[in-house]
């Protein structure tokens, strides 16, 4: 029993990391006034590239870096479209998700000739003995804390938030709104890319089709639930990491306890748990009207 | 926007997506020219199949476009499509009636759209997030139903089949055989054209979309209009799922590959058709051509069908920048 709890706790923290990285990144982006619906695409694309790099080099840390780089590139594309070209941010993100799924599966089949999954790649070694933990957990937590401090305790963070609330006044106060929004989009996407790479080299150990499974959107929901605050996002990510872990852990555990049971189909029911949890919590707990006021609106300099 | 710049905008996005698709194929080491010939020519040789494949896309495109007139993004077309397919399969299997099955498909998709819109209007939660959560929940429920309760004991890799009496067949017109689901989709699209451009509801929807403030000032209730448009959109996607099941696949395979991605492709078709029901019929046929081409390319050149996703994704990304077409056009005029 004790061992089960410890196992579930470890899995919760392992599953929380990518959601935390993506949601903290997106908080930075949204605080500047840009919304990036393409988180899901960044997760899946960086997961694919990091599996490719790790497979070829045998070095999961290079995999992590390449994932972050994919995020950076995706962020510059999204920033270019939504900040410089004043495109529709939601539509651009939706298009990017479709594109990223397409490229990652095309690449999967082209590289390994397999429709479902890549071979196993080397992972970032876990630490912590019985309660195995990823060394990336403290990194993600530190990043969340740093983002919180930067956003709410430094003048630069205040200026960034001003870009999302009232860009015209921010510009009048000497802030370069276009540059700030672009950089915030880059930063957010880079963190998300790191999260996508982590899914492969820190958690699952291989790339599979649709590996992100909606976690990018779960992160978007957590951004809203957190009230755009990285500290609350830590709590949110751990809670949804728990539901994620339960949905994967419970059927395995039940199968072990009753070997005669055929649970293959029932796993589908378990897999709905994290999505149901998100749906119920956003519709019951979300308090209206705390989003950055100019979120999703292009800024036109006069 | 004048029609000429609209056509330029759409051409640019299609050309850019072909160009990047071509480069991508070269990088991956395929014979890109051969793949392109296959992709662009294959569907034209089989108009019957093109009509069948366009049918669900027309409806999922309407599912995206009708709500987006009011400024709401229905990304839930995928889940609404699954639910429409699943419930109309059950109804047709149990009752053997195609009209009842179609009505069930419509109603179930509409109900999902309604739920998403109510959460947005009442609780202020962005519809994109709730849509996607519902997509996944329904995806897993569908997988559960098909593998656990609705499977065919003789063919365990697929669900029970639609009985012969409830199937929607073809109309033979000499050289071509028209699948009846296609005219149903086109007529639905024309009906939506009249709803959007020649009814008071459509007028309210367009006003709410362009300016919720002036809509409120004019005495409209934006929340009510948003909810109606989402329910109508969801009903379209549900109908799309029904038509596919009743008129083409007659069953759901256990991997659900016949259903997957249709709702997302509909977003591309809706945008490419510029949210106009008549444009949507054309854009859906064009994207179906790419999708069928993708299937043919897989069979004959070994390129994964997901190539079509790459094309559609790039088309959507480029269409998100209305500014881009104007920049390119004005530069050309200036030089």
Asked if B20 is an interface residue toward chain A (Cβ–Cβ < 8 A), one would say no
- Residue-wise pLDDT tens digits, B7-27: 888 888 888 888 988 898 888
Question: Which residues of chain A have a CB within 8 Å of the CB of B327?
Answer: 85
Long-range CB contacts (within 8 A, 24+) of A112-118: A115/A209, A115/B304, A116/A208, A116/A209, A117/A206, A117/A207, A117/A208, A117/A209, A118/A51, A118/A52, A118/A55, A118/A206, A118/A207, A118/A208
Q: Is A168 exposed, middle or buried (0-12, 13-18, 19+ CB in 10 A)?
A: middle
As a whole number, mean pLDDT of residues A150-156 equals: 95
Asked if A56 is an interface residue toward chain B (Cβ–Cβ < 8 A), one would say no
Q: Do B316 and A271 touch (CB under 8 A)?
A: no
Question: Which residues of chain A have a CB within 8 Å of the CB of B267?
Answer: 94, 98
Q: Using the 8-state DSSP alphabet, how is residue A296 labeled?
A: T
- Residue-wise pLDDT tens digits, B143-161: 999 888 888 888 878 899 9
Dist. CA A35–CA B187, nearest whole Å: 37
| Angle, CA A220 vertex, CA A218 and CA A223 arms, to 5° | 115
Q: How far is CA A2 from the centre of its chain?
A: 30
| Angle, CA B309 vertex, CA B303 and CA B314 arms, to 5° | 115
pLDDT of residue B331: 53
Question: Which residues of chain B have a CB within 8 Å of the CB of A99?
Answer: 309-310, 313-314, 316-317
Q: Is A256 exposed, middle or buried (0-12, 13-18, 19+ CB in 10 A)?
A: exposed
Q: Do A275 and B137 touch (CB under 8 A)?
A: yes
Confidence band for B282, pLDDT divided at 50, 70 and 90: very high
B56-88 per-residue burial string, b: 16 or more CB within 10 A, e: under 16: bbbbbbbbbbbbbbbbbbbbbbbbbbbbbbbbb
- pTM equals 0.91
Q: DSSP per residue over B139-196, as a string?
A: HHHHHHIIIIISB-SSSTTBBPPPPGGG---EEEETTEEEETHHHHHHHHHHHHHHHH
- Residue-wise pLDDT tens digits, A243-261: 998 998 888 888 788 777 7
Question: Which residues of chain B have a CB within 8 Å of the CB of A113?
Answer: none
Write the CB contacts of A149 (distance below 8 Å, at least 6 apart in sequence): A157
Cβ pair B53, B59 in contact under 8 A? no
Q: Do B130 and A279 touch (CB under 8 A)?
A: yes
- Residue B97 vs residues B93, B100, B142, B186: alpha-carbon distances, Å: 8, 6, 21, 22
Question: Which residues of chain B have a CB within 8 Å of the CB of A98?
Answer: 264, 267-268, 309, 312-313, 316
Dist. CA B106–CA A157, nearest whole Å: 48
* Residue that has been written with the tokens 């639910």 in this structure: B83
pLDDT of residue A126: 73
Tokens of A214: 């909606």
User: DSSP 3-state assignment of B34?
Assistant: helix
Can you point out the beta strands (E) in A156-284? none
Whether B186 has a pLDDT exceeding 90, the answer reads yes
B37 or B331, higher pLDDT: B37
Closest CB from B135, B307, B320 relative to A95: B320
* Residue that has been written with the tokens 């392109």 in this structure: B36
Whether B333 has a pLDDT exceeding 50, the answer reads no
Tell me which of B129, B252, B307 to substitute to probe the interface with A (most A C-beta atoms closer than 10 Å): B129
CA–CA min distance A175, chain B (Å)? 24
Tokens of A278: 């998100």
Among the listed residues A43, A44, A36, the one whose alpha carbon sits nearest the alpha carbon of residue A20:
A43
Q: Do A102 and B307 touch (CB under 8 A)?
A: yes
Q: Do A275 and B264 touch (CB under 8 A)?
A: no
Asked if B140 is an interface residue toward chain A (Cβ–Cβ < 8 A), one would say yes
Q: Tell me how crowded residue B186 is: count the other CB atoms within 10 A of its CB.
A: 18
Q: Do B73 and A90 touch (CB under 8 A)?
A: yes
Cβ pair B241, B259 in contact under 8 A? yes
Confidence band for A123, pLDDT divided at 50, 70 and 90: confident
Dist. CA A33–CA A297, nearest whole Å: 7
Asked if B16 is an interface residue toward chain A (Cβ–Cβ < 8 A), one would say no
- Residue-wise pLDDT tens digits, A194-232: 999 999 998 889 999 889 988 999 999 999 888 899 999
CA–CA min distance B42, chain A (Å)? 20
Q: Do B123 and A282 touch (CB under 8 A)?
A: yes
Tokens of B329: 């056009």
- Residue B208 vs residues B69, B213, B273: alpha-carbon distances, Å: 8, 8, 21
Q: Do A275 and B133 touch (CB under 8 A)?
A: yes
Closest CB from B126, B143, B323 relative to A85: B323
| A positions 195-234 inside 8 Å of B (CB) | 213-214, 217-218, 220-221, 224
Tokens of A60: 């999961």
Question: Which residues of chain B have a CB within 8 Å of the CB of A44?
Answer: none
Q: Using the 8-state DSSP alphabet, how is residue A202 labeled?
A: I
* Residue in B closest to A38 by C-alpha: B317
Please state which of the ranges A5-9, B160-164, B176-180 shows the lowest mean pLDDT.
A5-9
Q: Do B141 and A101 touch (CB under 8 A)?
A: no
To the nearest whole number, what is the mean pLDDT of chain A?
Answer: 90
Whether A71 has a pLDDT exceeding 80, the answer reads yes
As a whole number, mean pLDDT of residues A73-77 equals: 97
Whether A110 has a pLDDT exceeding 90, the answer reads no
Confidence band for B334, pLDDT divided at 50, 70 and 90: very low
Q: Do A105 and B304 touch (CB under 8 A)?
A: yes
Among the listed residues A205, A234, A233, A226, the one whose alpha carbon sits nearest the alpha carbon of residue A122:
A205
pLDDT of residue B45: 84
């Amino acid at each position: 029993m004790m061992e089960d709890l410890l196992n579930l706790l470890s899995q919760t923290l392992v599953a929380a990391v990518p959601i935390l990285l993506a949601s903290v990144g997106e908080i930075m982006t949204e605080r500047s006034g840009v919304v990036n619906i393409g988180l899901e695409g960044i997760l899946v694309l960086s997961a694919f590239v990091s599996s490719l790099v790790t497979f070829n080099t045998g070095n999961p840390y290079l995999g992590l870096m390449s994932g972050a780089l994919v995020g950076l590139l995706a962020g510059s594309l999204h920033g270019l479209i939504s900040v410089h070209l004043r495109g529709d941010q939601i539509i651009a993100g939706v298009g990017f998700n479709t594109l990223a799924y397409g490229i990652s599966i095309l690449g999967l089949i082209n590289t390994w000739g397999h429709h479902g999954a890549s071979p196993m790649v080397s992972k970032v070694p876990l630490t912590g003995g019985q309660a195995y933990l990823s060394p990336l957990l403290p990194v993600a937590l530190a990043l969340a804390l740093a983002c919180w401090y930067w956003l709410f305790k430094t003048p630069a963070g205040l200026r960034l938030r001003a870009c999302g609330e009232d860009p015209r006044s921010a510009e009048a106060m000497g802030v370069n709104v276009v540059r700030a929004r672009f950089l915030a989009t880059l930063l957010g996407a880079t963190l998300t890319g790191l999260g996508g790479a982590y899914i492969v080299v820190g958690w699952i150990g291989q790339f599979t089709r649709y590996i992100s499974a909606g976690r990018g959107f779960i992160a978007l929901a957590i951004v809203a639930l957190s009230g755009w605050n990285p500290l609350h996002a830590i709590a949110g990510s751990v809670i949804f990491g728990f539901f994620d872990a339960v949905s994967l852990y419970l059927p395995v555990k039940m199968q072990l306890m009753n070997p005669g049971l055929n649970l293959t189909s029932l796993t589908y029911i378990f897999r709905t748990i994290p999505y149901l949890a998100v749906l119920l919590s956003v519709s019951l707990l979300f308090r209206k009207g705390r989003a950055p006021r100019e979120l999703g609106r292009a800024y036109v300099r006069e | 926007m004048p029609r000429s710049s609209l056509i330029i905008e759409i051409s640019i996005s299609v050309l850019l997506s072909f160009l990047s698709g071509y480069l991508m194929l070269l990088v991956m080491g395929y014979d890109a020219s051969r793949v392109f010939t296959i992709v662009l020519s294959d569907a034209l040789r089989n108009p019957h199949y093109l009509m069948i494949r366009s049918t669900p896309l027309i409806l999922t495109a309407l599912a995206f476009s009708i709500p987006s007139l009011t400024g709401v993004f229905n990304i839930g077309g995928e889940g609404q499509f699954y639910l429409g397919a699943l419930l109309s399969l059950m109804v047709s299997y149990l009752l053997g009636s195609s009209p009842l099955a179609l009505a069930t498909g419509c109603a179930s998709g509409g109900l999902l759209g309604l739920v998403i819109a109510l959460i947005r209007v009442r609780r202020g939660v962005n519809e994109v997030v709730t849509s996607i959560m519902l997509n996944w929940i329904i995806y897993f429920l569908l997988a559960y139903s098909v593998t656990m309760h609705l499977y065919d004991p003789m063919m365990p890799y697929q669900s029970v089949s639609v009985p012969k009496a409830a199937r929607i067949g073809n109309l033979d017109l000499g050289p071509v055989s028209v699948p009846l689901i296609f005219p149903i989709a086109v007529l639905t699209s024309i009906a939506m054209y009249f709803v959007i451009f020649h009814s008071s509801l459509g007028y309210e929807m367009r006003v709410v979309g362009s300016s919720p403030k002036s809509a409120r000032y004019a005495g409209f209730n934006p929340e009510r209009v948003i909810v109606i448009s989402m329910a109508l959109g969801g009903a379209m996607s549900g109908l799309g799922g029904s038509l596919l099941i009743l008129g083409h696949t007659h069953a759901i395979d256990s991997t659900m590959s016949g259903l997957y991605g249709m709702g997302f492709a509909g977003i591309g078709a809706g945008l490419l058709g510029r949210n106009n029901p008549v444009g949507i019929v054309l854009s859906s046929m064009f994207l179906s051509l790419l999708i069928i081409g993708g299937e043919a390319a897989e069979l004959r050149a070994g390129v994964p069908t997901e190539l079509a996703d790459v094309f559609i994704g790039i088309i959507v990304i480029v269409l998100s920048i209305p500014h881009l077409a104007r920049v390119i056009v004005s530069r050309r005029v200036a030089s």
